[in-house]
Amino acid sequence: MDAPQPERAGAAVRSKSRPRFWMAALVVALVGAALTLAFAAPANATSGTVTGTGSCLNERTGPGTGYSVITCISDGTAVGIACQTTGDTVTGPWGPSNIWDYIDYGNRGGYVTDAYVYTGTNGFVAPRCHGNQPVVGNDYPYSCVDCVDPWNFYTRECTSFVAWRMNHQYGVSFTNTMGGGRWGNAENWDSNGRALGYTVDHVPTPGSIAQFDPYVGGASSLGHVALVASVSGGNVTIEEYNWSYAYGYDYRTISASTPSWYIHVAG
């Protein structure tokens, strides 16, 4: 559910009939949880549990019931919440909520309504998903594999995803031949960035490009690039395509010393 399809934003979702003893137990549990939520101080949780769907909760590509469904997560599943945003209002066990949680589930990021995720509070428990807050999410629009994108990279490859973000998140007219150079495969990005006058160093910043030389950190013979979403102490959270699974999105937190270079194109 947002629970399972079909559903409507703001509509209550009916669950299937259950034996009476199960329903009685559920009522007691929900009343207790509601009282706890009403009087407890906001929690600082960064995780939650899918609860009260009657079956499963739709994970979507964006914060609303009109976005495509990635998968359906079973009741009782614990999920990590990377960040939260507002979107369509959905009514769950504790009433309506317009909060949506960006989660990492099955090596793919996506959004679920917080109305069916128990976190200990009805409010926000994680940073907001905007700007450079930790994870923006899978907004990449192309479904074709290895077609030529508008910036002359191959779609659903790591290079195309970074080019998409440079253009659409940071407003940089990033193309394969930007500035008269040629970015090409990921292994060439550090040298091309230097040749074009961009700062290439070992200092990660949100919005910088993490570049991996061939075979560094698990990269292939062609290298790898990712986008730095956030920096915390000696770690970075990066977003990328074609890493954890073929031609798909993921994000991960790694040591800031793992990438070979950081390329500062977006200021």
Please write the tens of the pLDDT for every residue from 195-216: 999 999 999 998 899 999 999 9
Q: In the prediction, which pLDDT does 133 show?
A: 43
> Are 79 and 67 within 8 A, CB to CB?
no
Q: Which residues of the chain, if any, have pLDDT below 70?
A: 1-45, 104-109, 130-136, 267
Task: Please give the torsion angle defined by the CA atoms of residues 157, 162, 168 and 174, in that order, rounded to the nearest 10 degrees.
Answer: -100
Please write the tens of the pLDDT for every residue from 135-150: 557 778 898 999 999 9
The first and second tokens of residue 246, run together, are 């073929």
Collapsing DSSP states into helix, strand and coil, what is residue 211? strand
> Are 59 and 70 within 8 A, CB to CB?
yes
Q: Which residue has the tokens 């997560």?
A: 73
User: Given its phi and psi angles, is residue 260 left (phi above 0), alpha (psi -120 to 50 degrees) or beta?
Assistant: alpha
Q: In the prediction, which pLDDT does 8 show?
A: 26
Domains delineated in the chain:
20-118 (2.30.30.40), 158-264 (3.90.1720.10)
The first and second tokens of residue 8, run together, are 């409507």
Which of these, 67, 14, 29, 73, lies nearest to 48 by C-alpha position?
Answer: 73
* pTM for this predicted structure: 0.56
Q: In the prediction, which pLDDT does 83 show?
A: 77
Q: In the prediction, which pLDDT does 130 show?
A: 55
Q: Which residue has the tokens 């009916």?
A: 14
Pairing type for strands 47-50 and 235-241 reads unpaired
Collapsing DSSP states into helix, strand and coil, what is residue 117? strand
How many residues are listed for the chain in this entry? 267
- Sorted by sequence, the CB contacts under 8 Å of residue 151 that are 6+ apart come out as 160, 163, 164, 167, 174, 175, 176
